[in-house]
Amino acid sequence: MSDWPSSLPVISTLEGYAIEPVEAIAETEMEAGSPRARRRFTQPLTHYSVAVPMERAQLAAFETFHHYTLKDGAEWFGMPLVNGQGTTICQARITGRPPWRARRVSDTQWEVSFTLIVRNRPIASP
């Protein structure tokens, strides 16, 4: 598994990204009474929505990393992310359609936004 390139901005230092856990329960309708709920999995996936400021050279490095190393988003990679446990290395994959979007901010600045799907997000024990 590859890691987020050191030449790209560290996402865990950015302000304003969102963490969205995927629903981890399944419900079954009963003939009478309330639906029965059960856990679908013990380590649910989590979505992180991020927007990363990049210079032109960093955008080129990101495009190369996504296409060749991540095989256009098919591969998982290690990335430091902030969560309730602080900054931890998480296993992530870039997901969505389109997988990422680059918005030009100035002649040399871009804002690259994408959604990460994260597995094994650390959660404190009770």
Please state the three-class secondary structure of 59-107 as a single string. Answer: HHHHHHHHHHHCCCCCCCEEEEEEECCEEEEEEEEEEEEEEEEEEECCC
Instruction: Check residue 68 and give its pLDDT.
Output: 97
Q: Is residue 30 part of a domain?
A: yes
Q: Is residue 125 part of a domain?
A: no
> From CA 11, how far away is CA 36, in angstroms rounded?
39
Q: Is residue 25 part of a domain?
A: yes
Q: Is residue 28 part of a domain?
A: yes
> From CA 15, how far away is CA 70, in angstroms rounded?
25
> Can you give the CATH number for the domain in which 20 is found?
2.40.30
Which residue range forms the structural domain that includes residue 47?
A: 2-119
Q: Number of folded domains in the chain? A: 1
Instruction: Check residue 26 and give its pLDDT.
Output: 82
Contact 54, 82 (CB under 8 A): no
Instruction: Check residue 12 and give its pLDDT.
Output: 66
Q: Is residue 79 part of a domain?
A: yes
Residue 77 tokens, joined: 């990679």
Q: Is residue 126 part of a domain?
A: no
Q: Is residue 124 part of a domain?
A: no
Contact 88, 122 (CB under 8 A): yes
Per-residue pLDDT of the chain (126 residues; tens, 9 = 90+): 899 999 998 876 677 688 888 887 788 888 888 888 887 777 778 999 999 999 999 999 999 999 999 999 999 999 988 888 888 899 999 999 999 999 999 999 999 999 999 998 788 788
Q: Is residue 62 part of a domain?
A: yes
